[in-house]
Amino acid sequence: MHVYRFEAMSTPCELHIYASERTRADMAAQAVVHETKRLERRYNYYHPDSIVTALNTRSRDRLDTETAFLLRQAQHFYRRTNGAFDITLATLKTLQSSAKTLEEFAQQKERLLPYVGCEHFTIKKGKIRFDNPHTQIDLGGFVKEYAVDRAAGILRKHRIDSALINFGGDLFALGVKPDATPFVIGIKDPLHPTRIARHLPIVDQALTTSASYERPVRIGSEVVSHVLSRHEKSIPLQRSVTAIAPSCLESGVCSTALLADPDLQPFCSVYVLP
């Protein structure tokens, strides 16, 4: 097994590649890192030169093929999850740092909610059109999960048939381990995050966990989840949803949507803790 570690998209990334030839593993890993860094540069919400910033500032409306694909996928999953997965929740992002109290956050959120929703932008003839100046988008974790799927495709092209891709907890198991056993993933207990609550085997599948206790933010005297929801004032800090699907994009959407809306009907294998 050859292990490769790097940082991308504000998260630690790992590749565990099983290959008899170190050279082939090295070349495959190098290609994955190059592709992941490319996606990081293109879709960084915070970088002034990214495509996302250009769209949010309305300085660009022309879409390349890849960006149009991602935005259409986001619209598709927005409809599929009845709005629980929504890249336009970025419209509320600045409130988490500007609001002095949770009450002020809730008041400002109500003011901006009319501009939240993927129905506020359309894609036609290679261009994006917003119906107002306020709606913002953030492809964030969506691109990270897309990057995992891209990494799996790159490894296959390099004739790697056994590997585990882990981008900050967004995982894809390529094939089985050399001893023909599945990859087994430990899932943290949200009540005691240093403990493993259960183990899940995966083969040629993606697994993602969306957890409200990760990266909490402080609003006034309150500590709340960084995950935004249009329905709840704040998501409880001790909740996690793990999803397994054929692609990381699909599992990531499912786990994120169910974290925001526990009543949503899941469309892949789901494990909710506690």
Residue indicated by tokens 């697994």? 207
131-135, long-range: CB < 8 A, 24+ apart: 133/58, 134/91, 135/88, 135/91
Answer for the pair 87, 118: CB distance below 8 angstroms, yes or no: yes
Residue 245 bridge partners (DSSP): 206
Q: At what angle do helices 248-260 and 140-157 cross, to 10 degrees?
A: 160
Q: What amino acid occupies position 84? A: A
**The predicted structure's pLDDT at residue 68:** 98
pTM recorded for the entire structure? 0.92
Nearest to 260 by CA among 92, 133, 19: 92
Nearest to 6 by CA among 31, 26, 41, 33: 33
Q: List the structure tokens of 24.
A: 């082939």
Tokens coding 144 = 């990270």
Domain ranges of the chain: 45-138
- Residue appearing with tokens 């901006």: 112
Residue segments in the chain with a per-residue pLDDT below the cut of 50:
none
DSSP 92: G
- Residue type at position 166: N
- Per-residue pLDDT, 232: 61
Please give the distance of CA 31 from its chain centroid, rounded to a whole number.
Answer: 21
> Cα(150)–Cα(192) distance, rounded to whole angstroms?
33
Which residues, 6+ apart, have CB-to-CB distance to 26 below 8 Å? 2
Interatomic CA distance for residues 79 and 162, integer angstroms? 35
Q: What is the model's pLDDT at position 230? A: 76
The matching CATH number, chosen from 1.10.3980.10, 1.10.10.10, 2.160.10.10, 3.40.50.300, for 45-138 is 1.10.3980.10
